[in-house]
Amino acid sequence: MIKEIDGGVCAAKGFQASGVHCGVKANSSPEKNDLALILSQRECAAAGVYTLNRVKAAPIYVTMDHLEDGTAWGVVANSGNANACCPMSHENAELMCAAAAQATGREPGDFIVASTGVIGQTINIAAIQVGLPDAAAKLSPEGSDAAARAIMTTDTVKKEIAVSLTLGGKEVRIGAIAKGSGMIHPNMGTMLCFITTDCAITHEMLEDALRQVVMHTFNRVTVDGDTSTNDTCVVLANGMAENPLIEWMDDDYAAFKDALAYVCRHLARAIAGDGEGASRLVTCKMVGARSEESAERLAKAVVGSALVKAAMFGADANWGRVLCAMGYSKAPFRPEHVDISFESEAGSILVCKQGDGLDFDEDLAKNILTQKEIVIAVDLHEGEDSAECWGCDLTYDYVKINGDYRT
């Protein structure tokens, strides 16, 4: 049984977090936290997954280096500047870790480092160095909220969750915070996700679980077709739950992976629903596919289509755009077998049967599509596999937000 609990990234035993304002971005509001710190009482097994963009920000390379031994103690992260494609980026990422180490009594290599914000501008490392002692002083088991808010950029809501489950007779907790709103496309996006757990699990099993879970959650989100330079998803496991060590793909491993998937799915949906300027969360459920891979490719094409997204914004039941997007996905399917429905809490309406349009109640369809969460349900009638991907509508505000993001 997976149970949602309070506490976010501090829900697991032995973790503390904080978030403070240090002024990474010039003229930023002192009310906006921009520096986050997470620290464990014990050394953690650690694993990470990163952007597939060929252009990677310096913090990713530093984090990869620090995680070569499969261990970490904490995370230091900032918003307001991506520390990507700019002078001194690698050196400044290392300096962030050094400052975090000095403030907490650890070593620079004990830290994962991450940044988010505008690309191409040198980060204000001096502000971060001044701010980290304050962040360390404010580390607290109640610090998840402050840390979650510190990594937000264009996000309109914080993204945080924690769950508990029982493994080997012991309560195990998993908590996480994330950010993401724009530059979101399959293979992650401008997203940071920091996951903590008190589960006793080896680095190898933790890495395997994270990679499998990310593939079926964060990699199925798209907001705008852009894959960022800074995407980072990491998990730290300190073993303080004292459950029997998970070192094989046994039943406890499967239960842990299911709970990790629950956490990441929740955050993936939250990121999609909070897409820049978005007014609706759009889910595409693709069933009856020949394979899970083809179902995923088809669903990604649908939620990634600018025309489908625009139709969802206008509450227009333009199902032809759905079929069109599927057609250019390069996934195999037979259009003449496809059924398409639109669903929400207002009801469900079948708009396409075996590849052909149906007469349907336009008023009911519009009512369905004006709800906060919309499902595009597609049945391929070709197999037993399925996939679910998440996106959002495309609104005028997306252009407003991104038209002057840098300035």
Query: CB count, 10 Å around CB of 405?
Result: 15
As a whole number of angstroms, the distance between CA 19 and CA 132 comes to 10
| From 63, 190, 227, 283, the catalytic residue | 190
Q: Return the closest-CA partner of residue 338 out of 373, 372, 289, 294.
A: 289
Query: CB count, 10 Å around CB of 157?
Result: 12
* Active site (annotated) includes residue 190: yes
As a whole number of angstroms, the distance between CA 178 and CA 238 comes to 20
Helix/strand/coil percentages in the chain, nearest 5: 35, 30, 35
Query: CB count, 10 Å around CB of 54?
Result: 7
As a whole number of angstroms, the distance between CA 48 and CA 60 comes to 10
Q: What count of Cα atoms within 13 Å lies in the side-chain half-sphere of residue 50?
A: 22
CA 53 vs CA 85, 180, 351: distances in Å: 13, 16, 37
* Cβ–Cβ < 8 Å for 398, 277: yes
CA 34 vs CA 15, 281, 344: distances in Å: 20, 27, 36
As a whole number of angstroms, the distance between CA 294 and CA 310 comes to 24
As a whole number of angstroms, the distance between CA 235 and CA 240 comes to 15
Relative orientation angle of helices 89-104 and 58-66, to the nearest 10 degrees: 50
* Cβ–Cβ < 8 Å for 45, 202: yes
Both tokens of 276, joined, read 């820049």
Torsion of CA 168, 170, 174, 175, to 10 degrees: 180
* Cβ–Cβ < 8 Å for 374, 280: yes
* Cβ–Cβ < 8 Å for 373, 345: yes
What are the DSSP calls for 35-71, one per residue?
EEEEEEEEEEEEEEEE---SS--HHHHHHHHHTTTSE
**Residues assigned a catalytic role:** 190
